[in-house]
A and B are shown apart, each in its own frame.
Chain A
């Protein structure tokens, strides 16, 4: 469901009116549906230099293998589903001109919901200033381009660390995610692939087949959407929420054919109870999604101990304690994956949210530091930072503030719980094994925190 305004300005009189008045005209986003094509048209793959590099050739071959209609140069007036700029060989800012200016005219020919994806190397690993400049230039380029695209088209980038190439499993996994409708509300963002670990799923529509996943805070909102998405992708589910939310939790459990665990995640033994439940009932545990979270907003000048402590307690302290139990357990299956829900508030800050932003900043720090600990057992941990998402939490924001907040991004609309869920499902899959310690924003390129 898109919001009412977006529906109104997408058709008929609403569309004309919005045009005349210069009102924002958010597009109806292209979201994933099983069986639909990965992209809405042919894919143009451009390398640096003369447009053909080893990296771009290998990648183009892989895309042909997926059954995509791949172009190495644009045909005049042909509507494109995606443009992929393979910039891994760029060693100087001057080398960006070739591929970027070649792609430029094709931007007018993008189909609605099209994708632009860059593939480049991380600048942090470059010792040479010119190389670093070329690589970091991609960052500014991509984020600006994302703001220029219209009609639900988005631009995102894959960054390659030293251990990764253009056809590493997680490079292809991230690329596939960005191209698909699963990344509808991800815009102007990068995902870094640091290793060649992982594998693409045997069945692209069931990437989590055979996995056992736990989702906290699953009784409603984003958590319920995560449960539905992981179920759709083939996982078996344990859904967790506080006992007082048990009736809604039961409804979600019955919908996704999972088991309900009524549990306050702040309780001392929460980690053990989650592991025991998953192992006893489902024979193991592969994926944990830390989604449960609360807000208790107040200006810091008016903050009290209760508000501060409860937010820190639920949003980050509980995750630390549960992760400790997970890391100490020998009952997890191989390649465990953890995904934590952070917030753009924890990156850019928000007035009235010192406690919340501290907790969500904490999630990001925790994820970075936990990544090496999980790497030892072949696991990964990442965070997803949602921007404005249409849920009960944001429905409580006063109307005017809410209306402004949901338009303040490149897609001019709020995201849906399912959009966050899609990013989480990807990061929980083996295709994302080479991505760890990362924060992916699902915010439509929000002006705050972008």
Chain B
């Protein structure tokens, strides 16, 4: 349909009619505790951690030797030797070796995108079960050799004689020997993610106090959830850790206020982003078990929630049109419109806390008349969310954020919250997930508590 591809699709033209597809159900999830980089998982590879998260999931749901329809996972910081990371993890796990797997990578949205992609395959009838996941290690990150050394090494390999080899080697300069460590810098702007967000935070005039409050709530909500036993069937300990090592249950607004800004220092007095209201580099892995209702029923497995729909968006941050991490501000209105929903219809908001400033800038954009009119094409502001429904069991500021593992963490936790919550006004509880990602991207999704279809 080349013609249609250029026209903006209005909601009523959407070919998506939910009822005609099978439902993709979230059965449950498992993750290992997230560890601050350089901590408990320093010696663990992505494959180690993903395998551990898978094995915990298999143990929780009795999936030993089970042939799962497909497993998809990924990592943002990936060694070239990990070209088949997910399949290798499956082979090292207790699953049937006949379980196929593929790697996926969409920066910090990797985890959520694996859930959406696999859920779509389930809905279409291509597979009956799936495991989505993600892993990242900033401790065991790949280090690339410099471009100069790389060229020399490749030429050396091609050189045929000893004199030729010596000639190639003579091109080496000391600076070529410095390794190229990975960073979160944007290739097109050279700015780090934090510096980008600092600009956005300032643009939306987000106060330091408001950001610290988001961080404070994140730590206290996550700590309370652990105390309540909420994570007893979501997390399996790993390497001596049984809770996220970044969690500070006793943090206070006063303590957060003492921290010095680390991003946007060039803004002077307006610098508001500290190590307390920004997520630290973290190592960890997460998994989510998906299936059809029949697949779950046949195994006596829980049916926590249904993956309703998802949407991706991207912004032109390169030319400064929007902030680097603002894509969800566009994705969410499109997703809700397509599903005929507004903020009033959402009972849980899971907005990934890359930085407290990201969450607040996104909320500010939705509450802004001008943004609503000029950027979203609406009559006014998109809407305001009830803060009491935001990240009620904590989010990335407290748990940490091993890039590709965050989506799985959120999906599994939200599915459990929706299930535990019970119906709202006679309809199943509903949750919204919003995840920003490098490259100016964002992926968002709607989950709904599972309820048996009419007549069953």
A residues whose Cβ falls under 8 Å from a Cβ of B: 243-247, 249-251, 253-254, 257-263, 267, 280-283
- Residue of A247, A258, A267 touching B56 (CB-CB under 8 A): A247
Known pairs A243-B232, A250-B59, A280-B300; list 14 more (Cβ under 8 Å): A243-B229, A243-B237, A243-B242, A246-B56, A246-B235, A247-B236, A250-B58, A251-B55, A254-B55, A254-B94, A257-B65, A259-B60, A263-B232, A283-B300
The answer on a CB contact under 8 Å between A254 and B58 is: yes
Q: Give B99 Cβ to nearest chain A Cβ, in Å.
A: 14
Are A281 and B232 touching (Cβ within 8 A)? no
Residue contact A244 to B237, C-beta cutoff 8 Å: yes
Q: Can you list 5 A-B pairs, Cβ within 8 angstroms, ordered by A?
A: A243-B231, A243-B237, A254-B55, A281-B62, A281-B300
The A interface, classified by DSSP as helix, strand, loop or mixed, is helix
With known contacts A251-B55, A257-B65, A259-B62, A246–B302 Cβ distance under 8 A = no
Chain B, 51-71, CB within 8 A of any chain A CB: 52, 55-56, 58-62, 64-65
Q: Write the B219-234 contact mask toward A (1 if CB under 8 angstroms, else 0).
A: 0000000000101110
Q: Complex Cα distance A243/B227, Å? A: 12
C-alpha gap A247/B31 in the complex (Å): 11
- A262–B232 touching, CB < 8 Å: yes
**Chain B residues, Cβ within 8 Å of A267:** 229
- In the complex, the answer to whether B235 meets A259 with C-beta atoms within 8 Å is no
Chain B min CB distance to A262 (Å): 5
* Cβ contact within 8 Å between A246 and B55: no
Query: By CB atoms of chain A within 10 A, which of B59, B60, B242 has the most?
Result: B59
Q: Are B56 and A250 in contact (CB under 8 A)?
A: yes
Given A243-B242, A280-B302, A282-B300, residue A254 in contact with residue B59 (CB < 8 A) = yes
Q: Which residues of A contact B231 (CB under 8 A)?
A: 243
A-B residue pairs, 6 tightest by C-beta:
A250-B59, A253-B59, A260-B59, A254-B94, A259-B62, A246-B236
The CA-CA distance from A283 to B298 in the complex, in Å, is: 11
- Chain B residues with CB below 8 A from A263, complex form: 232
**Chain B, interface residues (CB within 8 Å), range:** 20 to 34
Are A250 and B64 in contact, with the CB atoms below 8 A?
A: no
Q: A243-B232, A254-B64, A281-B300 are in contact. Are A259 and B59 (CB under 8 A)?
A: yes
Interface flag for B355 (CB, 8 Å): no
Task: Give every chain A residue within 8 A of B61 (Cβ-Cβ).
Answer: 259
Give the chain B neighbours of A258 by CB distance below 8 A: 62
Q: How far apart are the CA atoms of A209 and B231 in the complex, in Å?
A: 33
* B64 near A257: Cβ-Cβ < 8 Å: yes
A259 to B236, CA, bound (A): 13
Shortest CB-to-CB span from A370 to chain B, Å, is 28
| Residues of B contacting A243 in the complex (Cβ-Cβ under 8 angstroms) | 229, 231-232, 235, 237, 242
**In the assembled complex, which residues on chain A have CB atoms less than 8 Å from the CB atom of B236?**
246-247, 250, 260, 262
B287 to chain A, nearest CB (A): 12
A398 to B55, CA, bound (A): 36
Task: Specify which chain B residues have a CB less than 8 angstroms from the CB of A247 in the assembled complex.
Answer: 52, 56, 236-238
Could you say which residues of chain B place their CB within 8 Å of the CB of A257? 62, 64-65
Closest chain B CB from A330 CB (angstroms): 18
Q: Which residue of A lies closest to B239 (CB)?
A: A247
> A257-B65, A263-B232 are contacts. A249–B300 as well, Cβ < 8 Å?
no
Please give, as numbers and ranges, the residues of chain A lying within 8 Å of B299 by CB-CB distance: 281
Interfacial chain A residues near B233, Cβ < 8 Å: 261-262
Give the distance in Å from the alpha carbon of A254 to the alpha carbon of B51 in the complex. 13
Interface assignment of B301: CB less than 8 Å from any CB of chain A: yes
B237/A245 in contact, CB under 8 A? yes
